[in-house]
Structure 1
Amino acid sequence: MKEWSCIDDNMMAYRQEVRKLEDKFEGLELSHVLRHNNEAADRLANFGSKREAAPSDVFVEHLYTPTVPHKDTTQDADTHDVAMVEADWREPFIRFLTSQELPQDKNEAERISRRSKLYVMHESELYKKSPSGILQRCVSLEEGRQLLKDIHSGICGNHAAARTIVGKAYRQGFFWPTAVSDADKIVRTCEGCQFFARQIHLPAQELQTIPLSWPFAVWGLDMVGPFKKAVGGYTHLFVAIDKFSKWIEAKPVVTITADNAQDFFINIVHRFGVPNRIITDNGTQFTGGVFKDFCEDFGIKICYALVAHPMSNGQVERANGMILQGIKARVFDRLKPYAGKWVQQLPSVLWSLRTTPSRATGQSPFFLVYGAEAMLPSEVEFESLRFRNFREERYEEDRVDDLHQLEEAREAALIRSARYLQGLRRYHNRNVRSRAFLVGDLVLRKIQTTRDRHKLSPLWEGTFIIFEVTRPGSYRLKREDGTLVDNSWNIEHLRRFYA
């Protein structure tokens, strides 16, 4: 076999490994692939160097050690401590301005000769002519970094942004060529700035919608409250919504317990059948053993939403808002505002929501459940056309026809919902500012509790380590001592920490 030359010492270990395997094959042929025929591999290589979420059709494996151990060539050699000294960027300009001495490299010499027009020597020191006309004393890179740190967090510093502290350094009459990048690094790694940084509100991931299947297959479950104590001592409300038909169920309760949550959902099962999944939050009434055992006995899968991320269960949150909005207006009384009669008004609000067409499906929940629109009291009172044309002898036949046509209507609603969700994704994804973390990254987590908080409290806590990527935009965390943090957290509440 021909000899190979290695452009890097690290490649010698791989060459030796191939030599060991060479004898196990009858023949070995290597073909050079031209760049334009290797686009797929190039894209994967470029993707590997970016900190972005992997596409759904790409499987990523992180290798933290080389597949072939590299031989340490320095083991047999004498070890010496080598101090890296940065070259002084001012020296070429000083030599040219004082003695017309240029570097041997032609390109470098041309660059120095042209750039030197902006520099002058004064009392054996190099100065740069600024656009404002003042002379800026040229300092070394290390002096410049110390100057920026003092401006940023020194005795007169207020932890200003990078652009601000660079402007101050320039206005004070100093210059060095890496001022902007040095300021960015200083501000980015400042602990005070990181723990008090503002939250990024632009979405970090593309919208992930829940695909619809069929009526009563998937329910969203939540709890609303506290309300003003009503007759009977009711203070909270359990709410559930069918993801397909948007049918809403609600039940007032006195106390928030797993037993009450179980009783509420058993009533739904008895009326609409056993669902495939329940999507709910991490409240103790839903994470306790009583509710979990109930779901396990019925073969119901529980999907828990991310902590402090209501968008994970957005439909039931929307249902909560519509119920609250309806109750607020109905219980309002100028003489006795917010009276405790909301329980009596709840059935009217639910009836209205169930008979109102949904923008996603184009049909009312009542129609998608029963195959016909409900007869409203106003239709009877004002004698609508449907009320006048009602014939009892034809009702049974018409009702059977409605049920036969119901499946087709549900299919049409499913297609309309898919188009609606596609529009939501397009609208949401226009503002995505892509961010992603890898296993092992250091992050800060937004503080959720308001207990013992004041105006000077930090917005973030940590640091934490990314332990697992559960799905795009969702992460399991662990503390620095190695203990795992409960539940998964959305990237919306995480921020990269720069040590």
Structure 2
Amino acid sequence: MNPIIKYLAKNKVPEDPLVVRRLRARAASFTIIDRQLYKRGFTMPYLKCICPTEAKEVLFEVHAGTCDNCQGTTSFAFKILRQGNYWPTMKEDAKELVRKCDTCQRHGNLIHVPIEQQTAIFRVCPFFQLGMNILGPLPMAKGQKKFLLVSIDYFTKWVHDSKDTKIYWKRKKDFGQMSCPMCYGRITRLHENRPGKHHFRLTFGMEAVVSVEILSETGRMKVKQPDDTGTRGELDLLEEVREKAAIKMMVYKRRVVGYFNWRVNPRIFQSGDLILRDAAATGHSSTKLEPNWEGPYEVIRSLGKEAYSLKDMRGRPLDRPWNAEHIKRYY
């Protein structure tokens, strides 16, 4: 602000013509009244220009003073403007203060942005895919069974289920081999996509016909009569149809992965960094008015796969590692 004050009060300008032109354009929005610099504003006729020392006092008083009110960066800056104050970096300073405020950090919104990129699973060949899911714990049944393993064939939608008392990797492996031996090893999430052809056509090489159409002689059956020679020809050409469907599914998955990865915002922490953890992820019951984050905690080391070992401020390690999805940096 000093160059503007010198220009308005003493008509002093720099030697560079380009800087002089910019200075005169900026100075048109300022004026001096009783040896005090003011800026012509839109919220108020004149906004008082204050120095950095006064700006820090105003920031602290408005945000955490007598009438403190923790709020966002933009509303915080607007509130300062309504008080009749102005300085060039007020929005950036307000953002920095809100980011470092302890109360604002603890009551901040939960982060739903993904932290790591999505990995698409492409099958070796069509139909070698199985969807598996684990449900439970459910109410105790006969034999103390409370978990349910469900597998679904990707195209035929054939379902197989099993009840268990506990879920462990060997049980899932045996169940996968029993459900579909050819598909095991390629277990993925069951996901509906549009390969361009109906699943029945891709499986059996022909369109599906229900029994009602055969009995009532529908229009489609009259136009296209069953032909054994044509059916065998369709089966010979089925491999090409499956390959085209597989290519379309691959393009679709890559497009989905690209959209998902565009939103990824990785969170990387180093040993010694201070963090806050998600209060809901700890399993403690909380109300709407309680903080969303608790801490701070210190990072001991990285365990890989976005997992970190933490300790409290007294130096006691936490009982389990925490994923970066449930923690954020503490300033």
Give TM-score, length-normalised by structure 2: 0.69
Counterpart code for 1:192: T
Q: How does 1:80-479 map to 2 (within 5 A)?
A: 89=1, 100=10, 102=12, 115=26, 118-122=30-34, 125-131=36-42, 134-199=45-110, 208-215=119-126, 217-225=128-136, 237-242=148-153, 245=155, 247-253=157-163, 255-258=165-168, 261=172, 264-269=175-180, 272-273=181-182, 275-279=184-188, 313=189, 315=190, 359-360=194-195, 362-364=197-199, 368=202, 378=212, 385=221, 405-425=237-257, 428=259, 432-433=262-263, 435-438=265-268, 440=270, 444=276, 446=278, 447-448=280-281, 451-461=284-294, 467=302, 470=305, 475-479=306-310
| C-alpha separation in 2, matches of 1:250 and 1:128 | 74
CA distance in 1, matches of 2:81, 2:197: 62
Rounded to whole Å, the distance in 1 between the matches of 2:20 and 2:207 is 85
CA contact (8 A) 2:276 2:330 kept: no
Q: Distance in 2 between matches of 1:203 and 1:401?
A: 48
Secondary structure of 1:448 counterpart: helix
What CA deviation, in whole Å up to 9, does each residue of 1:311-357 have, x standing for no partner?
xx4x26x7xxxxxxxxxxxxxxxxxxxxxxxxxxxxxxxxxxxxxxx
Give distance in 1, aligned partners of 2:133 and 2:65.
50
Task: Classify 1:172/1:161 alpha carbon distance in 2 versus 1 (closer, same or farther; 3 Å).
Answer: same
- Aligned counterpart, 1:336: none
Alpha carbons of structure 1 residues 452 and 175: separation in structure 2 relative to 1, 3 Å: same
1:127 to 1:402, Cα distance in 2 relative to 1, 3 A: closer
**Post-superposition offset of 1:191:** 3.2
Q: Is the 8 A contact 1:237 1:253 kept in 2?
A: yes
Separation in 1, partners of 2:140, 2:195:
35
8 Å Cα contact 1:162/1:184 also seen in 2: yes
> C-alpha separation between the residues in 2 aligned to 1:378 and 1:451?
57
Number of residue pairs matched? 316
| Kept after mapping to 2: 8 A contact 1:148/1:166 | no
Tell me, in whole angstroms, the C-alpha distance in 1 between the residues paired with 2:322 and 2:156: 28
Distance 2:277 2:159 in 1: 35
TM-score normalised over the length of structure 1:
0.49
Do 1:234 and 1:252's aligned partners in 2 also have CA atoms closer than 8 Å?
Answer: no
Q: Separation in 2 of the partners of 1:368 and 1:404?
A: 12
Does the C-alpha gap of structure 1 residues 398 and 484 become closer, same or farther in structure 2, counting only changes over 3 Å?
Answer: farther
Cα displacement string for residues 80-99 of structure 1 (whole angstroms, at most 9, x for unaligned residues): xxxxxxxxx55x5556666x
1:182 Cα deviation from its structure 2 partner: 0.7
Aligned-residue offset at 1:211: 1.5
CA distance 1:203–1:375, shift in 2 (3 Å): same
Long gaps (5+) in structure 1:
1-88, 280-312, 319-357
After superposition, the CA RMSD in angstroms is: 4.7
